[in-house]
Structure 1
Amino acid sequence: MSSRHPSSTAERRHQVLDPCTLGRPFHLLEDFNQRLGRQLDRHLAGRFNHRHGAGFVINHVAIGSYVAGQGDASWRTYITPAGTLSVRLERRLLLAMLGYHYGDKGAMKIDENSPEIETERRFGAATGLALLDVLRTCVMPSMDVGFVPEPLRMPAMSDRIIRIEMEERHLGIAGLLEIAVDDAWLGLIFAAAAPRRATATPVAKNETPLAERLPIRLSARMLTKEWLLDDVMRLAPGDVLPVRMPDTAEVMVGDTCLFHAAVAEHGGTLCLTSFENAE
């Protein structure tokens, strides 16, 4: 007589629970992760894709535990009134952004073994701050915070890590953007992710459409002029730069060019007319 035994313990697969997640509403963070991913996508599109023809996209956002290891030297930590944040971007992605920023997209080569130069350090610091500010807009959209650098500080083992999977499709590279948040910032994220209770205030009928209430700031870029760095460094008060008034101007919303418009003069005032959608 034979009997069947259940699978051995080694064959069973159990989900390992992170004790740091117990009793906390991590199940609410999926919508927040998706919102953060969309905001980062918009930021990358405006700063790199639309302006330089790059192909940066966000593939996945998740929150997990901090694991010390390789890449720790690339963390940049900042103190804010709300708590401590750290950010690191894998070097292949940073070098791709640096190349697009300086117009090397034609024959760009990503060499992660090349020595780091001061330009890369400054660009990496500025890029990290810009990405942290995207997180800030998702958590506290109406409040600005100051980011004070802490060069020698690493993420704590108790920090949670927001891991953002990114890729640059034209170069065929992928990597991680990681943001470490302390317990104070994690509490703010939970508050931002919590569902809002419906208010009892009735919605007014015939309310003005959103498009007629939403203010948009337009900026006109009249001209650009290329100079050698040495010539720029020699500029002094009283110098005159000869320029020619252009026939058209770029009309921008933030860093994105939406229209091309003709430059005209009316009553001694420069005006923009004949708006055409930018391709």
Structure 2
Amino acid sequence: MSQRSSTSIAARQHIVLDPCTLGRPFHLLDAFNQRLGRQLSRHLSGRFNHRHRASFAVAQVAIGSYVTGQGDAAWRAYTTPAGALAVRLDRRLLLAMLGYHYGDKSTIDERMPETETEQRFGAATSLALLDVLRACVTPSSDGGFTPEPLRTPEIGDRVIRVEIQERALGLTGLLEIALDDAWLSLIFASAVPRRAVATPTAKTETPLPARLPITLSARMLTKEILLDDVMRLAPGDVMPVRLPDTAEVLVGDTRLFQATIVEHGGSLCLTRFENLE
């Protein structure tokens, strides 16, 4: 191999450094990006996928410099006790969420003028997504988000870019969150490993599953009867029903699992839980 070829191959393997990142631990943010991606995916699944049979998923999370001329939506700016940030969501994604929320897929048309409903829904959705970011950075609440006059981030500002896909509709778009230095410092603090601090006495903490109680309810069967028949029911009456083989398992009104009904020791039990997502 010639000297020229070896030199060009070596040059292609060099990593180009952004001078704005020097002196700060950006190389430690991969774990934070993955954690934020998982939490955003969980939020989208709970709000849209489980309730409306949507297929939103986070494909990638990265932190980079702000670039002008990208995106098709205006920024929404907010201040918090921790600092200032701004957020925007590609309109095609926002319209898809709006369509699933109201059960009207005809709203997913970027040629339509913006409506007041879309503005209100976009503001509420932006705040919900920012809450996910805050939970990843500062688990304890430190106040709300106060809207600020519309502004655009400046060149060199750091921006979290989240690529979101809606597979059923074949859509891909960006969620972008611009950070000020205070918020960026919070993210670094949550990403940099903390040194273990020796404590004089070890405290026994309650296991995490015990601190997150979730109430499950099982719906084994439903039966439709006439209101006139209901009015004639009296204590001791027997309503004939046929027990099915499976039951629905719910959290609130959300169907999460389908389970098999079995009898054990004279009691009815549920087993073989299957995800309904």
Equivalent residue number for residue 51 of structure 1: 51
Question: Cα gap change, 1:210/1:72 in structure 2, threshold over 3 Å: closer, same or farther?
Answer: closer
Counterparts of 1:66 and 1:81, CA distance in 2: 23
In the other structure, the counterpart of 1:148 is 146
Of 210, 216, 221, 2:213 maps to 216
- Percent identity, aligned pairs only? 66
Pair 1:117 & 2:115 matched: yes
Q: Could you tell me how far 1:65 is from its partner in structure 2? A: 0.2
The residue number in structure 1 matching 2:69 is: 69
Equivalent residue runs for 1:134-213 within 5 Å: 134-200=132-198, 209-211=207-209, 213=210
Residue 104 and residue 198 in structure 1: after superposition, are their counterparts in 2 closer, same or farther (change >3 A)?
A: same
**What CA deviation, in whole Å up to 9, does each residue of 1:229-273 have, x standing for no partner?**
xxxxxxxxxxxxxxx9xxxxx9636x845589xxxxxxxxxxxxx
- Residue by residue over 1:208-242, the C-alpha shift from the partner in whole angstroms, topping out at 9 and shown as x without a partner, is 6543x31426599xxxxxxxxxxxxxxxxxxxxxx
Q: Is the 8 A contact 1:158 1:182 kept in 2?
A: no
Structure 1 runs not aligned, ≥5 long:
221-243, 245-249, 261-273
> SS at 1:59's partner residue?
strand
Measured after TM superposition, the shift of residue 112 of structure 1 is 1.4
Deviation, structure 1 residue 15: 3.2
Measured in 2, the distance between the counterparts of 1:169 and 1:275 equals 36
- What is the root-mean-square deviation in Å for CA atoms of aligned residues? 3.4
Q: 1:130 aligns with which of 110, 124, 128?
A: 128
Secondary structure of residue in 2 paired with 1:6: helix
Instruction: Give the letter aligned to residue 75 of structure 1.
Output: W
**TM-aligned CA deviation for residue 139 of structure 1:** 0.3
What is aligned with 1:252? 251
Q: Which amino acid aligns with 1:214?
A: R
Are positions 1:25 and 2:25 aligned together? yes
- Report what 1:224 is aligned to: none
Matched residues, number: 232
CA distance, structure 2, for counterparts of residue 275 and residue 54 of structure 1: 31
Q: What is the distance in 2 between the residues matched to 1:146 and 1:109?
A: 30
**Which runs of no fewer than 5 residues in structure 2 stay unpaired?**
218-229, 231-248, 259-267
Change (3 A) 1:95 1:82: same
Cα shift at 1:71: 3.1
Code of the residue aligned with 1:68 in structure 2: it is T
- Matched-pair contact (CA < 8 Å) for 2:83–2:182: yes
Q: Is the 8 A contact 1:65 1:160 kept in 2?
A: yes
Distance 2:144 2:250 in 1: 30
Q: Aligned AA for 2:128?
A: A
Name the TM-score, length of structure 1 as normaliser: 0.72
Q: 1:275 to 1:257 in 2, by over 3 A?
A: farther
SS at match of 1:32: helix
Cα distance change of structure 1 residues 208 and 151 upon mapping to structure 2, 3 Å threshold: closer
Whole-angstrom CA distance in 2 between matches of 1:218 and 1:183: 41
Q: 1:209 to 1:79 in 2, by over 3 A?
A: closer
TM-score of the aligned structures, taking structure 2 as reference length? 0.72
